[in-house]
Amino acid sequence: MTESAQIVLAGLDAIRSDLEDLYQDLHRHPELGLREQRTAHKASDALRAFGYEVTAGIGGTGVIGVLANGDGPTVMARADMDALPVREQTGLPYASTATVTGPDGTEQPVMHACGHDVHVTCLIGCARLMAQAKDVWRGTFVALFQPSEENGDGADAMIDDGLTSRSPRPDVVLAQHVLPYPAGYVGTRPGSFLSAADSLAITVHGRGAHGSMPQAAVDPVVMAAMIVVRLQTIVSREVAATTPAVITVGSIHAGSGPNIIPDSAVIQLNVRTYDDETRTQVLKAIERIVTAECEASRSPKAPEIKRISSFPPTVNDEVPTRRVAEAFAAHFGDSAHTIDLQTASEDMSEIPKAFGVPFTYWGIGGIDPDRYAEASRNGTLAQNIPVNHSPTFAPVIQPTLDTGVSALAVAALAWLGT
Amino acid sequence: MTESAQIVLAGLDAIRSDLEDLYQDLHRHPELGLREQRTAHKASDALRAFGYEVTAGIGGTGVIGVLANGDGPTVMARADMDALPVREQTGLPYASTATVTGPDGTEQPVMHACGHDVHVTCLIGCARLMAQAKDVWRGTFVALFQPSEENGDGADAMIDDGLTSRSPRPDVVLAQHVLPYPAGYVGTRPGSFLSAADSLAITVHGRGAHGSMPQAAVDPVVMAAMIVVRLQTIVSREVAATTPAVITVGSIHAGSGPNIIPDSAVIQLNVRTYDDETRTQVLKAIERIVTAECEASRSPKAPEIKRISSFPPTVNDEVPTRRVAEAFAAHFGDSAHTIDLQTASEDMSEIPKAFGVPFTYWGIGGIDPDRYAEASRNGTLAQNIPVNHSPTFAPVIQPTLDTGVSALAVAALAWLGT
Amino acid sequence: MTESAQIVLAGLDAIRSDLEDLYQDLHRHPELGLREQRTAHKASDALRAFGYEVTAGIGGTGVIGVLANGDGPTVMARADMDALPVREQTGLPYASTATVTGPDGTEQPVMHACGHDVHVTCLIGCARLMAQAKDVWRGTFVALFQPSEENGDGADAMIDDGLTSRSPRPDVVLAQHVLPYPAGYVGTRPGSFLSAADSLAITVHGRGAHGSMPQAAVDPVVMAAMIVVRLQTIVSREVAATTPAVITVGSIHAGSGPNIIPDSAVIQLNVRTYDDETRTQVLKAIERIVTAECEASRSPKAPEIKRISSFPPTVNDEVPTRRVAEAFAAHFGDSAHTIDLQTASEDMSEIPKAFGVPFTYWGIGGIDPDRYAEASRNGTLAQNIPVNHSPTFAPVIQPTLDTGVSALAVAALAWLGT
Amino acid sequence: MTESAQIVLAGLDAIRSDLEDLYQDLHRHPELGLREQRTAHKASDALRAFGYEVTAGIGGTGVIGVLANGDGPTVMARADMDALPVREQTGLPYASTATVTGPDGTEQPVMHACGHDVHVTCLIGCARLMAQAKDVWRGTFVALFQPSEENGDGADAMIDDGLTSRSPRPDVVLAQHVLPYPAGYVGTRPGSFLSAADSLAITVHGRGAHGSMPQAAVDPVVMAAMIVVRLQTIVSREVAATTPAVITVGSIHAGSGPNIIPDSAVIQLNVRTYDDETRTQVLKAIERIVTAECEASRSPKAPEIKRISSFPPTVNDEVPTRRVAEAFAAHFGDSAHTIDLQTASEDMSEIPKAFGVPFTYWGIGGIDPDRYAEASRNGTLAQNIPVNHSPTFAPVIQPTLDTGVSALAVAALAWLGT
């Protein structure tokens, strides 16, 4: 297998420049979830050019390319394609200036602030290398480009649109994510890897009045503020210190001016947990607190708590994870690590679940190694290393792309290599 | 004088229907501050038709009409013209459906939620009656239609645009406001009548990050929520119970989704006080609390506290107020009252201040008297009687308009009547 | 009457030194409510020496002395005797160092921090002067020394112990209080003078655990803190700015060390309001907030809200107040004022209520006039003038005592003078 | 070694009843830290009776007993002796009713709520068995009874009093703690086992006044409540979800009645962290928040933050831990486990540190196994299984004592057994 990988990856030098151009092009043209037409076309066109049998438009913009290469296992590698409504502040020459009209009619900035452009580029690169070296592997390689990971509905969209009957059933599903580790780093982890994530939109109701007459109002701004404050006590007091949990109120909106007490307030929040018991406990505690705080404010109407999105925990299967970890150790040497539990979420696991097959998911680094080392020495990692979703998140192009392409190929060949 | 008023007001029956039509038309077509073109045209056209010498466009859309009628005092009566960015929910047949493009490009609803349409209609009615009965009064009557009272910059706009040199200098300035009292009611008050009002926009700075990594962020949502909570303690703990003060946070905005900790949060608030010492104390306390709460949150950047608008207290001069109160008692009998201190604000006093002349300001009721009486009996005034700026604020047309026209005429004739 | 007062008060020079000694003695020996044995003995002994018919031990330590002097009205003047559990920090040569064993077995400091020693001294002085000048007045003078005003149960204790059948029925009841105004000042006020005051003890229940395991606990410290914070919103948001109301949480107690989460927390609070509607509204809001915050904390047991004490509002009757105000104007000249509404409370009004007779209550100043004037000029009254109940509250002996004696005599003689 | 253990433990049946009596006696007579005279006497007397060379009074009440038994390693086993100021609510026939006069003169309840009576009993039992079977082991066994573990100053007291020169230098130090696991359970853990714990007393300063005049005060109750609320955000927002940290405010005290705003408030809190970086970060954040909240309240004086106690993290050395784990596996079979990270703290590690030797520390269960199993099934462990420091913490006598005695002997014999 190791030898297969060496042969397959020998082709990387020749395509590196193409991949770097592709990456910059994708970065310049980010697309929000379920709108990834341009990105999907790039992927489809590339796969077709490499000789894959392509099915596009699965679940809107999802794409699969199948390269059958004789008897053997089937390996599916998945990349997600969507970007985020973030205004890029990287200052990169290939920074995004894209905007899009949002659901409320306003112009929203768009940015690949989570590195899905890296994922797409690396999977296209791997797909190309696999197609160029078909004599050192046997079986079927499936490249899957998924829409709308950020909204948690892209994997489901593909599944609902018949993915399992439109693709060969894989023996294993592979996926990777670029993370704020030094570029070159590859990190695997058996068991829990990513958190469950539940996003809620909560509307609380007061009663509006002129700002000078609070006694005629039920003030939803104070009500929402008390809820934000009170929610902190769930993590600080109701969950054990050794049980990871996060509640982030990402947005709060009420009123349109200084002087009119509005009728209602809306907060949106996100919950991260790593097991079902804690997940249930925290979601119940949120409902309890929101309800009680509305009562404390004599709210005239019950609050509305709506689920915006819901991500399962990503729990890597032990067997394929060990297989990939060994292949990485052989190929990457000291750059192969066991990665820490990550407080992020993914809907990727829905895909293997739909097929009823195991999966493994790993991380690759995207930060300039010297910069990372310096921040680490100075204890300023949190301040100086932009993380995913930040407006300054900017993976270095190399060795990030080389590592991502190699990791996909090495992992796939752990099943397919001869 | 009383006789003059009877003669002038004898003309009311004949114009009542016109005034009611005008009121409904104005209510249907509300205009935000400094955009009152249509309203100003209505006023100018009417004044010209009644024989007034009209100067329009003072301070943008301000209008004055001068009716000189021999030797005698000069009385200026002022009405404000602007509406509010509120979505009307009165269900009235003449409800506003108007919207306007706001400074941020979004469509905003517009509504006469503060009754300035009543003020404009009544002043046009009074101006017409004064013009029709010139033989029972002597002197000069000036009708002034002011823009942008809600923003606190309309009186200043007219003054800055030369009002004092473009209008005769009045001996007294009169103004009135429709309030949530029973229609028919007129209320005067010597001394403090309306509060000072200061509106602030406060931006607090955090550091954004993915919602799963609060440790990499400084959360501006929690920071803003703590500020809202903490600000409550100024009124509850720092101001004496017998010193009126209000701090309303009318809006809070941060973030665009559940899952990204934003960089900053913005709150807008309004402060009501009745004397300069308390005003200074409260504004300083706000600054102290905002600054300290940002420090408690280890904010990376000092908060920005901007004055949006600033209204002086409205303190009626004793002498003209007594004169008007006596004239009201003679004309309205038991419907003439001493009104309570009002927790609202006005920039009207800037006009007499610019001329260096005294003024008096009074309130008229706008609520159906039966409805008011029932709510008063049931102790449900706060719940059932919509107040100014509420989306359901809807003065009954009569006897509100009759009372407003009569009050202006009676008050003006207290100086001008023969 | 004025002449009577001059004759009665002519005796003041001769007794001034005795009164000043008495005052310092009382100040050195403060006694908590219902324990005023020493003070009551001083009063009884003095009254007997002056020729009064004395009944002691009414309601524990209450004392009345009756001086019948022919036909005429009956005037009752009341002084309260009790001190406070405050550690004196005045640095006065006659400062209290007294302590007493409290209900929980601990030593508590005691101090006349509310000036009842002034009241007792002045009433003894007035009683002496009245007895020395019986030929310039007619009727009956009743001096009443009441226990336990601070706890709000002293007047009731005397009434429950038969006061109305053990004392002549007065035509009017008079009382005074030393306040942080310049010494020499006397202030009357018709109608509302002092607030209603309701004190509550609230126990909230959590579940204890080791401090390292908050998830096993329901934290009553956080619960109580949230309640304290939330209660601020009643005054800031639920009561109109022009309606005085105060909620003070005077004590909070929970836990015995840093490291064990306790089972419960206790807060004690005091509510000041000036009308029954607001009083009811605020007390209900407290109950609503406490209950809801306990629910927000998933408290395992409903909170207990107990009334500790309850003071009615003190609303002066108009007729006797006018009578006293006129007598004060005649005697004190420019030092007689109309006083502001006071945010303090009293149970004194229970006594006239029990007799079914009117009353009036006034304030006298106790602050060195020069010090007061300077603080007033510098805007530092709040910082530099210690108020009642403060550990540094220290009325200047003169002209405070002279003024208090004179005010009682002048007021009594407004009914009794010939 | 295994055989040695079997022989040593064969003596357990004969002493079991004595140990159970001793346990109940100790439980009935708990003593607070540095006051463990009775307990220390029991230990000294027993050790002398078994033939140990005893040194008592080290660091106040500390005791060591040395049993030299030929050449071989030296093993020190340590038990802590002190109880807690908790009022026992177990309902046990041998429940404590003890009280003690606290530093403030009040009576405090005392209870063995942390199971140190188990530790003392088991070490006395083990010491007896070791003395009875000297032919199956070689070397020196040191039994150390430490005072005042709860206050974190008992190990230091012994060290400061010359422990290292008054005891043979051990090759390894052993200690155990009873925990809320099923009785019979023994749990080892290499590396981090127990948290660092820092206890702080924080005094914040306001300015007192009568409760009706908050404007004259700076309210320390509101200040302290805001601090408690704000401190929650450190764990919820400033520390990563995967980094364990706890901040418990165990006590809050201010004021003595409902109606006087006090001068100051005192909170006591405890911090649990597992690494020095987080420990430093959290302690700094507490200081930052306390300081800023005092500024937000315009506190007239800087807060005082005092360290009450400070426990290091307990990090087991790998080599002796593995040795004990293997011995436990051989002796206890399936009852030997790897235990989870514990959110409690200990000063035990100061002793091996003073000697410069390695140590290992393990947990034993104290809960009735059936009760534990049922609570586990029902998901009610947190509700139904009382944890250490709770007033209902009540280890079942057996198999808890047998397990504790056996674990000590088995572990010691892993070095000493022949």
Q: Which residues of A35-51 are buried (b: 16+ CB within 10 A; e: fewer)?
A: bbeebbebbbebbeebe
CA-based nearest residue in chain C for residue A287: C296
- Using CB atoms, which residue from A231, A240, A244 is nearest to D242? A244
- Using CB atoms, which residue from A232, A246, A341 is nearest to D232? A232
Our count of domains for chain D comes to 2
Among candidate residues D152, D143, D127, D158, the one with its CA nearest the CA of residue D62: D158
Are the Cβ atoms of C241 and A285 closer than 8 angstroms? no
Are the Cβ atoms of B213 and D239 closer than 8 angstroms? no
Mutate to test the interface with A, among B89, B106, B148, B210 (most CBs of A within 10 A): B210
| CB contacts, 8 Å: D199 with chain C | 257-259
pLDDT of residue B1: 54
- Using CB atoms, which residue from C104, C222, C387 is nearest to D210? C387
Instruction: Give pTM, 2 decimals.
Output: 0.78
With an 8 Å Cβ cutoff, is C377 touching chain B?
no
Q: Which domain holds residue D271?
A: 196-311
D103 pLDDT higher than 80: no
Q: Which of A276, A311, A346 is the C-terminal boundary of a domain?
A: A311
| CB contacts, 8 Å: A347 with chain B | none
Q: Which of A311, A337, A363 is the C-terminal boundary of a domain?
A: A311
Residues B127 and B32 in one domain: yes
Residues sharing a CB contact under 8 Å with residue B222, sequence separation 6 or more, in sequence order: A228, A229, A232, A249, B297, D233, D237
Residues C242 and C317 in one domain: no
pLDDT of residue A1: 55
Closest-CA distance, C292 to chain A, in angstroms, reads 5
Cα Rg, chain C, nearest whole Å: 23
Interface of D with B in 173-232 (CB under 8 A): 212-215, 217, 219, 222, 226, 229-230
Interface of D with C in 30-59 (CB under 8 A): none
| CB contacts, 8 Å: D235 with chain B | none
Q: Residue D161: in which H helix or E strand, if any? A: none
Are the Cβ atoms of A233 and C293 closer than 8 angstroms? no
For D307-317, how does the pLDDT look when each residue is reduced to its tens digit (9 = 90+)?
998 898 898 99
Interface of D with C in 111-130 (CB under 8 A): none
Closest-CA distance, C374 to chain D, in angstroms, reads 17
**Pairing verdict, β A74-80 and A139-146:** parallel
With an 8 Å Cβ cutoff, is D96 touching chain C?
no
Q: What is the dihedral of CA B122, B123, B124, B128, to 10 degrees?
A: 100
Residues D151 and D231 in one domain: no
Residues sharing a CB contact under 8 Å with residue B79, sequence separation 6 or more, in sequence order: B116, B119, B120, B122, B123, B143, B144, B145, B146, B175
Backbone φ and ψ for A105, nearest 5 degrees, come out as 90, -5
Q: pLDDT band for position C1 (50/70/90)?
A: low
Residues B389 and B291 in one domain: no
Q: pLDDT band for position A341 (50/70/90)?
A: confident
Are the Cβ atoms of B237 and D226 closer than 8 angstroms? no
Subunit partners of chain B (3 or more CB pairs within 8 A): A, C, D
Residues A189 and A252 in one domain: no
Residues D186 and D167 in one domain: yes
Cα distances (Å, whole numbers) of residue B363 to B177, B194, D26 = 5, 11, 81
Among candidate residues A176, A164, A169, A175, the one with its CA nearest the CA of residue A139: A169
| CB contacts, 8 Å: C292 with chain A | 292-293, 295-296
- Using CB atoms, which residue from B230, B239, B295 is nearest to D226? B230
Cα distances (Å, whole numbers) of residue C209 to B244, D236, D390 = 45, 20, 5
Closest-CA distance, D185 to chain C, in angstroms, reads 20
Number of H helices, E strands in chain A: 13, 18
Mean pLDDT for chain D?
A: 95
Residues sharing a CB contact under 8 Å with residue A100, sequence separation 6 or more, in sequence order: A31, A32, A35, A85, A107, A108, A110
Are the Cβ atoms of B272 and A390 closer than 8 angstroms? no
Q: pLDDT band for position D192 (50/70/90)?
A: confident
Q: Residue D52: in which H helix or E strand, if any? A: none
Closest-CA distance, B145 to chain A, in angstroms, reads 23
Cα Rg, chain A, nearest whole Å: 23
B243: domain CATH number is 3.30.70.360
B22: domain CATH number is 3.40.630.10
| CB contacts, 8 Å: C300 with chain A | none
Residues D177 and D274 in one domain: no
For C149-206, how does the pLDDT look when each residue is reduced to its tens digit (9 = 90+)?
998 899 999 999 999 999 999 999 999 999 999 999 999 998 889 999 999 999 999 9
Most distant pair of Cα atoms in chain C: their distance: 80
Among candidate residues A144, A74, A186, A124, the one with its CA nearest the CA of residue A412: A74
pLDDT of residue A267: 98
Q: Complex ipTM, two decimals?
A: 0.71
Among candidate residues B103, B59, B112, B109, the one with its CA nearest the CA of residue B82: B112
Closest-CA distance, B241 to chain C, in angstroms, reads 5
- Consecutive 10-residue averages of pLDDT for chain B (418 residues): 88 97 98 97 98 97 98 98 95 95 84 97 98 97 97 95 97 98 95 92 95 94 98 97 95 94 97 90 98 98 94 90 95 93 89 97 96 90 87 96 98 96
**Pairing verdict, β D359-367 and D186-188:** antiparallel
Q: Which of D262, D293, D311 is the C-terminal boundary of a domain?
A: D311
Are the Cβ atoms of B225 and A222 closer than 8 angstroms? no
For D16-36, how does the pLDDT look when each residue is reduced to its tens digit (9 = 90+)?
999 999 999 999 999 999 999
pLDDT of residue B343: 78
Are the Cβ atoms of C208 and D391 closer than 8 angstroms? yes
Residues A69 and A146 in one domain: yes
With an 8 Å Cβ cutoff, is C233 touching chain B?
yes
For D210-243, how does the pLDDT look when each residue is reduced to its tens digit (9 = 90+)?
898 999 999 999 999 999 999 999 999 999 998 9
pLDDT of residue C366: 97
With an 8 Å Cβ cutoff, is D275 touching chain B?
no
Residues C210 and C333 in one domain: no
Q: What is the dihedral of CA B177, B179, B184, B188, to 10 degrees?
A: -60
Q: Which residues of D62-71 are buried (b: 16+ CB within 10 A; e: fewer)?
A: bbbbbbebee
CA D286 – CA D265 distance, rounded (Å)? 16
Q: What percent of chain C shows pLDDT beyond 70?
A: 100
CA-based nearest residue in chain C for residue B343: C241
Q: Which residue positions of B form the known binding site? A: 114, 116, 150, 177
Residues A261 and A237 in one domain: yes
Closest-CA distance, D1 to chain A, in angstroms, reads 36
Mutate to test the interface with A, among D192, D242, D249, D275 (most CBs of A within 10 A): D242
Cα distances (Å, whole numbers) of residue A316 to A176, A319, A409, D130 = 12, 9, 19, 49
Residues C201 and C343 in one domain: no
Q: pLDDT band for position C331 (50/70/90)?
A: very high
Q: pLDDT band for position D1 (50/70/90)?
A: low
- B191 or A395, greater pLDDT: A395
Check whether A150 is labelled as a binding-site residue: yes
Place of tokens 């013009």: B131
For A45-91, how does the pLDDT look when each residue is reduced to its tens digit (9 = 90+)?
999 999 999 999 999 999 999 999 999 999 999 999 999 999 999 99
Closest-CA distance, B73 to chain A, in angstroms, reads 36
Residues B261 and B335 in one domain: no
Q: pLDDT band for position C33 (50/70/90)?
A: very high
With an 8 Å Cβ cutoff, is D266 touching chain C?
no
For D255-298, how does the pLDDT look when each residue is reduced to its tens digit (9 = 90+)?
999 999 999 999 999 999 988 789 999 999 999 999 999 999 99
| CB contacts, 8 Å: B191 with chain C | none
For the sheet containing B336-338, what is the strand order? Answer: B53-58, B62-69, B139-146, B74-80, B172-182, B359-367, B186-188, B336-338
pLDDT of residue A344: 83
D55 pLDDT higher than 60: yes
Round to the nearest angstrom and report the end-to-end CA distance of chain A: 6
Check whether C116 is labelled as a binding-site residue: yes
